[in-house]
Amino acid sequence: MVAKAPADGYTLLLSSAAYTINAVLQPGPIDLVRDFASIALCATSPFIMSVHPSVPAKSVKELIALAKSKPGQLVYSSSGNGTPPHLAGEMFKTMAKVDILHVPYKYATPALIDVVSGQVQIMWPIMSISLPQVQSGKLRGLGVSTRERTKLAPQLPTIAESGLPGYEIVGWNGLIAPAKTPAVVVNKINAEVNRQLKASELVQRLGQSSYDPAGDKNSPEQFTDFVRAEIAKFAKLVKETGTKVD
């Protein structure tokens, strides 16, 4: 609907990490880069590599060692095939060279419940639903999936610094418009988004939802580069792992 809407800046789409994954796993007639104009990244949120407290691993390195000692015996859940938590697990498997079993669920909540109950050992849930479980001790957080630590949980290291250099997968939301939206309109909306992202009330509201506002380097061109890089990353991962939606 948005791709075919008038390119006047009045119809926008709040896109997410799922769109870049779907661009690889479920390509269709609408192209995320060709058919849209990137406006601005709005906010990001890590996935927390979480394990049940009964798992005898206190760090990413220890979990890798445990998985290698028990090939095919550890299980991780996700909110479904082709979702960011699924790809986070596949990225871990590929980079760590371990064999862990994926069990897809229809939604994130039941997948998380089974980790909390101990029926499943591992999950990469988005911070908004996983951080409360980690803080209460119902889950053990081993690391965040972003390149840098988050101010939302500075005590958690990144997965990259904890044993898997280069590991990065991030939850994000950003605004895009129909492809032929004039640059003057795109730039005007971009400037307003960036202005609002510095407002203390919005920053507070985002933090309460476990999201970090986008940083200063947030031009339409930089957001376009970000989207392209995300698609390329997932294309490489899908090719290496053979990941499918079915």
pLDDT band at 245 (very low <50, low <70, confident <90, very high): confident
**So what's the pLDDT on residue 244?**
83
Q: Examine the pLDDT at 246 and tell me if it is beyond 80.
A: no
Q: Work out the angle between the directed axes of helices 220-241 and 17-25 (0-180°, nearest 10).
A: 50
**So what's the pLDDT on residue 108?**
94
pLDDT tens digits for range 63-100: 999 999 999 999 999 999 999 999 999 999 999 999 99
**So what's the pLDDT on residue 215?**
87
The one-letter code for the residue type at 200 is S
**So what's the pLDDT on residue 76?**
98
Q: Examine the pLDDT at 216 and tell me if it is beyond 90.
A: no
How many helical (H) and strand (E) elements, i.e. helices and strands, does the chain have? 8, 9
Q: Work out the angle between the directed axes of helices 108-116 and 127-135 (0-180°, nearest 10).
A: 20
Judge whether 243 and 88 are in contact, CB under 8 Å.
no
Instruction: Compute CA distances 153 → 81, 99, 215, whole Å.
Output: 28, 29, 17
**So what's the pLDDT on residue 50?**
98
pLDDT tens digits for range 105-157: 999 999 999 999 999 999 999 999 999 999 999 999 999 999 999 988 999 99
pLDDT tens digits for range 29-58: 999 999 999 999 999 999 999 999 999 999
Using CA atoms, how far apart are residues 2 and 141, in angstroms rounded to an integer?
38
pLDDT tens digits for range 157-213: 999 999 899 999 999 999 999 999 999 999 999 999 999 999 999 999 999 999 999
Supply the pTM of this predicted model: 0.92
Instruction: Compute CA distances 21 → 61, 82, 227, whole Å.
Output: 27, 7, 10
Provide the phi-psi class of 113: left if phi over 0, else alpha when psi is between -120 and 50, else beta.
Answer: alpha
Q: Following CA atoms 180, 183, 186, 192 in sequence, which dihedral angle do they give, to the nearest 10 degrees?
A: -170
Q: Examine the pLDDT at 25 and tell me if it is beyond 90.
A: yes
Domains of the chain in start order, with CATH, are 13-45+169-241 (3.40.190.150), 48-144 (3.40.190.10)
Instruction: Compute CA distances 133 → 25, 53, 127, 197, whole Å.
Output: 31, 11, 10, 28
Q: Following CA atoms 229, 230, 231, 233 in sequence, which dihedral angle do they give, to the nearest 10 degrees?
A: 80
